[in-house]
Amino acid sequence: MAVIKGKKPHVLAVPFPAQGHVKPLMKLSRQIARHGIKVTFVNIECIHEKIVAAAKMSAGDEEDGQEDDNIVLTTVPDGRSPDDDRNDSFKLLESLRNTMPGFLTGLIESINSSNGDERVSCVIADITIGWILETAEKMGAEPVVFSPPSAAALAIILHIPRLLEEGNLDSNGTIEKDEMISLSENIPAWRQNELTWSFPVDLETQKIFFECSLTIEKTIIQAKWLLSSTCYDLESAACDLIPGLLPIGPLLETKNPKSLSNSCNFHPEDASCLRWLDDKPPGSVVYVSFGSLAVLSQQQLDELALGLELSGRAFLWVVRPDLANGSRAVYPDGFLERVGELGKIVDWAPQERVLSHRSVACFLSHCGWNSTLEGLSYGVPFLCWPYFADQHHNQNYICDKWEIGVRIDLEENGIRTRHEITTKIEMLFSDGMFKENAMKVKAMCGKSVGEGGCSYKNFKTFVDHIRK
Ligand code: UDP
């Protein structure tokens, strides 16, 4: 154990530079900070800039990236030159691998020397960049790994050596068309293109995910603690497959109104949608969001817009500035005029506050794991629209295991039609079973993070340890 006697513990938290990784690690950091432990949260510069700019534009009262509590936001360079394309995740990862250990060593030395009574005693690394744990150990800090996706997503990754041995995967990490992989009868089986690293529309990207997945077993062996965003009661079978896993979720945002920059949004939040929701009847609104990465083709965007219109239901739709294949959306002729007050479109929503709003009836979601956990935590049924990676498996959990949602199916041409969209919206509104089940799952999650619950106790064990 790395803690030097007489020195106060100080945690370094290092996320993978993507929205769905930065946000949950910040939620964990806030939870740690609330126990009186100082946390330095380390982003690469371009991500830090986005977060600070978004916070300023959302809140209008944030001076800089510094927090008002025990959290300090700081940066390290990503090792790339200013003109390099930061959307090239392969090159970015390669550069981070080469340069981050040096930058982190410098950062830890500087924290240790400038805070006389403190010492970086623990480094929490996102599981995708677990190789920084070697730096943590060299610097005398305890190596901790945080896994943002579901336990099932991690379990299937840890199963890769067996899948390779048995010849179930090709060199891209794809399984044969008709094969199904089952790890337990209590976990939905995986079909082709449902694996954690699956990215069927771009096999190059899939290969990077797959290679990245291959390093995770070593990371887990190296880590002294393996924290997971999941909740044991939700995924007990998957949790039981991973020795040493400590489920501490669902991690939620705090009620602190000054926590906007802590939310670590990459886009400014548009809180006007909360006032719009206030005027709608309870349980009447379809909330639509595809997270931070998924994009829609123009044809698909048109079908979705017309499907929402056809449903006649009120909707709140997050249309990121890059949702339409990287560009601003263009809507079908007359769509905005026809839906009028029935529809509200924002660039980025305060998602948890939306999901916890009484007017929200259901969540049309890409089923990213963070969005999934947030929907579960607030008792919101799902309309599932997954794209890649773990999203299909999360959909299977939602529809088949927890029975709190329905799939919006693709036609053979790869499009989800307006009729399919309205049919499924109606199905969700007309069958009370989905909401009933969602409320049971909400209660289960609440119990787990509440005093004495499983996630609560696991987190307490961890935080008591680092406080010693
Ligand atoms: N999110 C948000 N506002 C939005 C859309 C998304 O705050 O308008 C947050 C959402 O609450 C979640 C994260 O962005 O915490 C997205 O993570 P997720 O794993 O669901 O999807 P990803 O972006 O990784 O595909």
What is the distance in A from the centroid of ligand 1 to the CA of 137? Answer: 32
User: Residues with beta carbon inside 6 Å of ligand 1?
Assistant: 19-20, 23, 265, 289, 291-293, 318, 348-349, 351, 368-371, 374
Give residue-wise pLDDT tens across range 365-403.
999 999 999 999 999 999 999 999 999 999 999 999 999
Pocket test for ligand 1, best of 22, 23, 26 (most atoms within 8 A of CB): 23
Order across the sheet with 382-384: list the strands: 343-346, 314-318, 285-289, 360-365, 382-384, 405-407
Query: Which CATH number is associated with domain 10-258?
Result: 3.40.50.2000
What is the distance in A from the centroid of ligand 1 to the CA of 263? Answer: 11
Give residue-wise pLDDT tens across range 193-213.
999 999 988 998 899 899 999
What is the distance in A from the centroid of ligand 1 to the CA of 291? Answer: 4
What is the distance in A from the centroid of ligand 1 to the CA of 336? Answer: 25
What is the distance in A from the centroid of ligand 1 to the CA of 352? Answer: 9
Q: What is the pLDDT of residue 89?
A: 75
State the closest ligand 1 atom to the C-alpha of 23, by its place in the atom list counted from 1.
15
328, 345 contact by CB (below 8 A): no
With a cut of 60, say whether residue 60 has pLDDT above it.
no
302 pLDDT tier (thresholds 50, 70, 90): very high
What is the distance in A from the centroid of ligand 1 to the CA of 323? Answer: 13
| Mean pLDDT score across all residues of the chain | 93
- Residue nearest atom 24 in ligand 1 by C-alpha distance: 20
Give residue-wise pLDDT tens across range 404-417.
999 999 998 999 99
Q: Is the peptide bond before 250 cis (omega within 30 degrees of 0)?
A: yes
Give residue-wise pLDDT tens across range 290-301.
999 999 999 999
Give residue-wise pLDDT tens across range 439-448.
999 999 999 9
Q: What is the pTM of this model?
A: 0.96
Do the domains 10-258 and 269-445 sit in the same CATH topology, yes or no? Answer: yes
State the closest ligand 1 atom to the C-alpha of 348, by its place in the atom list counted from 1.
8
With a cut of 90, say whether residue 90 has pLDDT above it.
no
86 pLDDT tier (thresholds 50, 70, 90): confident
- By C-alpha distance, which of 258, 263, 215 is closest to 41? 263
Q: Which CATH number fits domain 269-445: 3.40.50.2000, 3.40.50.720, 3.40.50.2300, 3.30.1280.10?
A: 3.40.50.2000
What is the distance in A from the centroid of ligand 1 to the CA of 169? Answer: 30
Pocket test for ligand 1, best of 22, 47, 351 (most atoms within 8 A of CB): 351
Strand partners, 345: 317
Residue with tokens 């079973």: 433
State the closest ligand 1 atom to the C-alpha of 347, by its place in the atom list counted from 1.
8
State the closest ligand 1 atom to the C-alpha of 371, by its place in the atom list counted from 1.
20
What is the distance in A from the centroid of ligand 1 to the CA of 223? Answer: 27
Give residue-wise pLDDT tens across range 7-17.
899 999 999 99
Question: Coil, helix or strand for 36?
Answer: coil
Could you tell me the residue ranges of all domains in the chain?
A: 10-258, 269-445
Cβ-count burial of 83 within 10 angstroms (0-12 exposed, 13-18 middle, 19+ buried)?
A: exposed
Q: What is the pLDDT of residue 199?
A: 94
